[in-house]
Structure 1
């Protein structure tokens, strides 16, 4: 199937991680020029090296999302290299496991800036160009915690939920400009983040990581953790012309983990 996005420019935030890297790979395979941004330049370059070896188009960009003052210069660098951003994939790192109560205000503020405000401001920076061209895709990766809050991820549950409300509102505002705005949320996809969370839970509860993983797998309808590629391919479809009538939605890529309708 031709997704009709060859030579589009995509910015993938968090592209050095498991989910971001899979998204970058899937988009690049469709002929998209991919900018891989990550707080770790080494991680971003690792993703890009894999893409370049396959003859795909990509370059790495070191980007600390907590530094809001860098947004304009980072986007300007992308525009100089590949042109204006057509596809924006907002994929941020998650905060440490915490309760929802008794957290310092500075911790809330730190993660609000890097997880929420950065996404909003980066989107604001690329939207005018999308509106001029009457085409754009804004896809924000959150967490299954926005549907079913995950125990001991209080900050993550709260902040990611705010992005859902923002995304739904924005979809209504820019839909007539040929721009779609959607949320994707992973269930338990086999990435370093999930390994970290399983290890943290095992330590907290005095159990083995294997036991925690087995318990989690039992709750998934398809009986396994997801492959990052499966996540990346759904994001790429949402970025395509084939998904031009799909906006304001929250797409669960969870193997049936979330039990609510």
Structure 2
């Protein structure tokens, strides 16, 4: 299938590893100009050098100026982005009874405020062109809140509500807005959560992983490349009639439809 994104510019946030890197690599392989970014500037540049048409940008999106710096760097390299993939690390694991207002503010900064700022910067050019793709890497916790991840459940649900509202407002302009929800994907973040669960429960990390795999119908963790394939389709031209939805890539982990 021709994804119809050759020559398009794809800005993939937090793409120096894990899911973000896999998405950036696949979009670039499909002919998009890829903007690889993250705090690890040398890593971003190394990944970009491996791709047909890409630039690596060192940026900290948790600073006030970070989103603006990233959009400026994208415009200087390729012009305004056609594709914006919202991605980033989640808040620390914590039970609902173990959070305070400082935790809530930090969670909203990480999972909501920076993403909304990026959207506000990228959206006007998409609407003017009559074509755009906004895709957020969410969490299966949006569909079924996860134990010991109260801060992530809170922030990612808030972003989902914003993006669902936005999708209806910009659909007629040729801009789609979707979420892609990972389950247990083999990433550093998954390893962090498994380690936290092991420490909390007194089990080994291997025991936690085995217990997690037992809850997944596919009986394994997903690979970043599998998640990236789903992301690439949602960012494609053929996906133009899919908007305002949350798609799960979780091996059947969440049992609801």
- Structure 1 position 240, deviation (Å): 0.5
Q: Distance in 1 between matches of 2:179 and 2:113?
A: 16
Q: Distance in 1 between matches of 2:21 and 2:134?
A: 17
Give the structure 2 partner of residue 253 of structure 1.
249
Q: Secondary structure at the match of 1:140?
A: strand
Q: Encode CA deviations 1:133-172: one digit per residue, 9 max, x unaligned.
A: 0000000011111111111111000000011111110000
Q: Distance in 1 between matches of 2:222 and 2:175?
A: 29
Question: Is there any run of 5+ residues in structure 1 with no aligned partner, and where?
Answer: none
Q: Of the candidates 158, 162, 182, which is equivalent to residue 162 of structure 1?
A: 158
Give yes or no for contact 1:78–1:84 (8 Å, CA) kept in 2. Answer: yes
Give the structure 2 partner of residue 90 of structure 1.
86
Do structure 1's residue 12 and structure 2's residue 12 form an aligned pair?
yes
Q: Of the candidates 53, 57, 61, which is equivalent to residue 57 of structure 2?
A: 61
Q: Of the candidates 102, 112, 119, which is equivalent to residue 116 of structure 1?
A: 112
Q: Secondary structure at the match of 1:181?
A: strand
Give yes or no for contact 2:57–2:73 (8 Å, CA) kept in 1. Answer: no
Give yes or no for contact 1:66–1:110 (8 Å, CA) kept in 2. Answer: no
Give yes or no for contact 2:84–2:134 (8 Å, CA) kept in 1. Answer: yes
Do structure 1's residue 214 and structure 2's residue 206 form an aligned pair?
no
Q: Secondary structure at the match of 2:65?
A: helix
Q: Secondary structure at the match of 2:42?
A: helix
Give the structure 1 partner of residue 24 of structure 2.
24
Q: Secondary structure at the match of 1:243?
A: coil
Give the structure 1 partner of residue 33 of structure 2.
33
The alignment yields a C-alpha RMSD, in angstroms, of 1.3
- Structure 1 position 111, deviation (Å): 2.6
Q: Distance in 1 between matches of 2:187 and 2:67?
A: 27
- Structure 1 position 59, deviation (Å): 1.2
TM-score relative to the length of structure 1: 0.95
Q: Against the structure 1 CA distance between its residues 43 and 156, is the aligned structure 2 distance closer, same or farther, given a 3 Å change threshold?
A: farther
Give the structure 1 partner of residue 220 of structure 2.
224
Do structure 1's residue 3 and structure 2's residue 36 form an aligned pair?
no
Q: Distance in 1 between matches of 2:55 and 2:153?
A: 32
Number of aligned positions between the proteins: 257
Question: Is there any run of 5+ residues in structure 2 with no aligned partner, and where?
Answer: none
Q: Distance in 2 between matches of 1:103 and 1:119?
A: 22
- Structure 1 position 102, deviation (Å): 4.1
- Structure 1 position 239, deviation (Å): 0.6
Q: Distance in 2 between matches of 1:199 and 1:15?
A: 23
- Structure 1 position 39, deviation (Å): 2.2
Q: Distance in 2 between matches of 1:186 and 1:102?
A: 25
Give the structure 2 partner of residue 76 of structure 1.
72
Give the structure 2 partner of residue 136 of structure 1.
132
Q: Encode CA deviations 1:91-122: one digit per residue, 9 max, x unaligned.
A: 01111111223423222212312321110111
- Structure 1 position 88, deviation (Å): 0.1
Q: Secondary structure at the match of 1:34?
A: strand
Give the structure 2 partner of residue 48 of structure 1.
48
- Structure 1 position 207, deviation (Å): 1.0
Give yes or no for contact 1:171–1:182 (8 Å, CA) kept in 2. Answer: yes
TM-score relative to the length of structure 2: 0.96
Q: Secondary structure at the match of 1:184?
A: strand
Give yes or no for contact 2:59–2:69 (8 Å, CA) kept in 1. Answer: no
